[in-house]
Structure 1
């Protein structure tokens, strides 16, 4: 038998695994408009009418699950959840009446609503998709298994509702009651609703304790499928008003273009490429024989390489801190782009000197080009990065141009990391290693070593762009070297920003705003007849913690 694993509660483990998908619901036009307080009433009433269909299906699924549970305590707990769900539906009418409106008496469920309700009721009836639950469900144990599957299909929806409304509530001023949807938002952030969520998740654990590992995998699949159906449910809500998301749909279909730039190290990857090249060099280095001789005279031994890399890394870290101290002012909080440029001129000198030391040390000498390419092909990009670029480049309705601007010493590593599928269309701009017969000479062909050179490459690309239509430049970066490009782009997005980037930006008056709250503020500013404007050098950068946020913002679900 399987039961719960060492990670604890099933629902917690599943939510953590699939939480990125909740972003696609949060960033829908519906919730961005709801959070801003300017969601049109007709849209909200339509949403409630669809939500009623959904919650009625939950109540019916609870009733079926109650019949399947074999423990009286579990039955009582499920019955209480069903009653709470019915009470929630009844509360909709009073909330709507407080605004002076009435819910539609008859409203047909739309396709995404039907898909979710059908999935939910099929699961509660002992079916998964087109197949029945494995085995017969005549015995009490088999029926309990169906109850567990049912809670696995309900729990993610409840948690998603709680998560989204808490994210929105965090943006509201508690003392400001002018937000028309505040009562609705507060109801889903209440202790009462959270208790319902926790009780459903606890029940899922209780009903799953005796299941096999294969049966727990079934619950995980149901949980994931329910998350996807719920995202589709929110995405399908019709919006007639002007909106700020998804960004790609706001472009002119013929002449508008998105030019997307991104850094590579720590933006697309979890690790710096210099560490990867160091690992390749050490692993492939010749070994020193018992008599002290080397098997390959043109390269350092792996032991010597480790010492050399460690010394270079320590010196870089020490001098980086010294450079940061020298360029960071201690007064003034106004946005000062000119001052930041002057500071990063000094930082550029530091980066170039560090690269020169690497070349002079010889640590890159003897690397095999094919080995670098193999390492690039096996490189794991950050979760959601590859999926975003793949979907972007496959979308024929979006005119886009994508450029990777990187300090990486070896463009082959980047090209290999993006070599699969449609990602060959990415334009790579970085330094290159010099080779003789596919073996590195240790020299770096220097193309972009500093923030100033990266900025110049960024500007050169934009100059070549057709400026007849509605164009937007988006830059995604994570380090100090990206700061100027981030600020000059129409939309600068900081991925899991380093403390040093925040520190330097703060000192020169740069504002770092979480992307979702920034979009809500943009939506507030959007009035009838105006257009959403994104403009560089505003001094505002938007922060994200995952590629899912970027994907949801630019492309939608």
Structure 2
């Protein structure tokens, strides 16, 4: 079957246009938009061993003192950059605002030792500028001096327009450093007990999560926005590159901090236990890896490639329903599924909630869901909506499918890692394994093992039947256990399962670490009903770091009844692989 132009249009509109990007939403000024765009990279700063240990309150004081000793070098660079930017600004209000920021930095330099003592530490005194510090400070001063890649200034940056550009570029390199520290301070502050005054680094955390420091960060961002108003699109791209580079250099600085104590991150590099195991990563597909549900996409392919109404009343060559009838049928099926799924979940959680983790009770309850899913799949087969699809159309749709930001990069790093002993498996209710394999076909990701249902085909055209291999939570768990059982490798498997739907619950709990991505209310409700605890990953890591520092066991164990939640793939990558 030939691919129609309307189908191509659908793929452009629904699956991402081949660029893999997402729709850009106006989020205010450019500094704000950049901070949102590069938030995932900021996550790697938060998940460094340094900040996980600091948040736990058990970071070794020598490491902290070395860290804050580098503040002096940063502050000096800021002061010089502000001085150069003030000279370049052509607006009195802008120069006044920049001058105030410079005075604030100079005052902080003068009071640095006092501030450190207020945090509860003796001043570390003079310290050599470490390599990771100088990378950022050299970059900042070069930018403030007009040495920007891709720019050619006349002489000594004499024209007012050139000066405005340099000032804008300078603040494009300053603002992300301020925003990154605010982000980390706020994230750590959010997980601390407000009544606990014993935390060793509480005053440092209070300082960088304070309204005063937030105000200073906002002021630098406001200046970026004001100075960039008259810039061209190309010049705004330069600011974005500088902003991004500053984020990367600052995160590298955090990651470079020397930590001698044992840590719980990154998981792949810690020396205790994990290095002697195979790391087996299991992952769901629909809405865990993808931004769209595969069932809806397969149905849409069927609809847009279906024949139009046969005006002569004769049956089409493929004996398929018309596109109009297919759409009506699919709408009925999807509405029925949603309504009956909600009813099924409600019937499970209508019983009395348990006080502690009840895995057996959860298993038994999910049998109701197994019956429901099998009935719904049978309904789809009987409807004939999946009949007559060309397998090449399905593969092409898979290749153009949008994966969640960071998903592809995470798996690419996993499979290319030469130190880790890893295998990766995708377990999915998806009706077509070729669709999943096509989505991961680029790069080295064809090594991922896909376990799912399949669409029966004759001469590369689907018959409408589903080869059913995985339709319920229990069958997904059986596949999970069979994979581990059939691995002919010596050593113990360390199992991580990443999922986001009710069908993943049993596997998530059976894994050594179960990571929930997304916001499925059904998964949360069922988990809560049977005593499952959902813990944000970062706070869970801080708790484990505290236990490790106190000599308590921090081993990960299956069937603990604890699942860890994340909002992005960046958190997963930062936890498992680090920077």
Whole-angstrom CA distance in 1 between matches of 2:318 and 2:543:
63
| Separation (CA, whole Å) in 1 of partners of 2:116 and 2:27 | 42
Q: Distance in 2 between matches of 1:317 and 1:101?
A: 58
- Within 2, Cα distance between the matches of 1:344 and 1:372? 31
Corresponding residue number in structure 2 for 1:144? 164
On the 8 A contact 1:133/1:146 being kept in 2, the answer is: no
* Structure 1 residue 16 displacement after superposition: 1.1
| 2:284 matches 1:272 | no
Counterpart position of 2:326: 305
Change beyond 3 A, Cα 1:262–1:205: same
Task: Measure the CA separation in 2 of the matches of 1:538 and 1:253.
Answer: 19
Q: Is 1:96 aligned to 2:119, yes or no? A: no
**In structure 1, which of residues 15, 31, 39 is the aligned counterpart of residue 35 of structure 2?**
15
Alpha-carbon separation, structure 2, partners of 1:254 and 1:492: 19
Q: CA deviation at 1:303?
A: 0.7
Q: Tell which deviates more after alignment, 108-117 or 163-172.
A: 108-117
Aligned pair 1:222/2:242, yes or no?
A: yes
Q: What is the SS of the residue equivalent to 2:191? A: coil
In the alignment, does 2:369 pair up with 1:352?
no
Distance 1:245 1:6 in 2: 35
Distance 1:118 1:351 in 2: 59
Taking the aligned partners of 2:342 and 2:27, their CA distance within structure 1 comes to 39
1:372 aligned to 2:394?
yes
What is the CA distance between 1:291 and its match in structure 2?
3.4
Separation in 1, partners of 2:285, 2:240: 33
CA apart distance, 1:213: 1.4
Deviations 1:82-107 (A, max 9, x none): 12122333444124335664333332
- Please state if 1:406 is matched with 2:428: yes
In the TM superposition, 1:104-119 aligns within 5 A as 104-119=124-139
1:378-426 Cα offsets, whole Å, 9 max, x none, are: 1111100000000111010111110000000000000000011110110
Q: 2:96 aligns with which of 69, 76, 80?
A: 76
Match of 2:279 in 1: 258
Residue equivalent to 1:436: 458
Cα offset, 1:212, TM superposition: 1.2
Offset at residue 135 of structure 1 (A): 5.1
CA distance in 2, matches of 1:206, 1:67: 16
Q: Judge conservation of contact 2:318–2:388 (CA < 8 Å) in 1.
A: no
Q: Verify the 8 A CA contact 1:286 1:294 in the aligned structure 2.
A: no
| Residue number in structure 2 paired with 1:232 | 252
| Counterpart check, 1:165 vs 2:185 | yes
Moved more, 530-539 or 159-168: 530-539
CA contact (8 A) 2:89 2:164 kept: yes
2:517 paired with 1:495: yes
CA distance in 1, matches of 2:209, 2:547: 26
Partner SS for 1:440: strand
How far residue 290 of structure 1 moved from its aligned partner, in angstroms, is 3.3
- Provide the rounded CA distance (Å) in 2 between the counterparts of 1:155 and 1:277: 45
Tell me the TM-score normalised to structure 1 length.
0.96
> Cα distance, 1:510 vs. partner?
0.7
Report the CA distance between 1:483 and its aligned residue.
0.3
TM-score (norm 2): 0.92
Distance 1:268 1:254 in 2: 27
Match of 2:212 in 1: 192
- Unpaired runs of 5+ residues, structure 1, are none
Cα 1:347–1:6, aligned 2, differ >3 Å: closer, same or farther?
closer
Q: Distance in 1 between matches of 2:213 and 2:108?
A: 9
The Cα shift of 1:346 comes to: 1.2
Question: Does the residue aligned with 1:143 lie in a helix, a strand or coil?
Answer: helix
1:538 equivalent among 560, 563, 572: 560
Q: Using a 3 Å threshold, how does the CA distance of structure 1 residues 313 and 122 change in structure 2: closer, same or farther?
A: same
Corresponding residue of 2:403: 381
Q: What pairs with 1:333-352 in structure 2 (closer than 5 Å)?
A: 333-352=355-374
Q: Measure how far apart 1:537 and its partner are.
A: 0.8
Residue segments in structure 2 that go unaligned for 5+ positions in a row: 1-24
Structure 2 vs 1, CA of residues 246 and 466 (structure 1 numbering), >3 Å: closer, same or farther?
A: farther
Which stretch of the first structure deviates more once superposed, 120-129 or 132-141?
132-141
Q: 1:348-377 CA deviation, whole Å, 9 max, x = no partner?
A: 011011111111111111111111111111
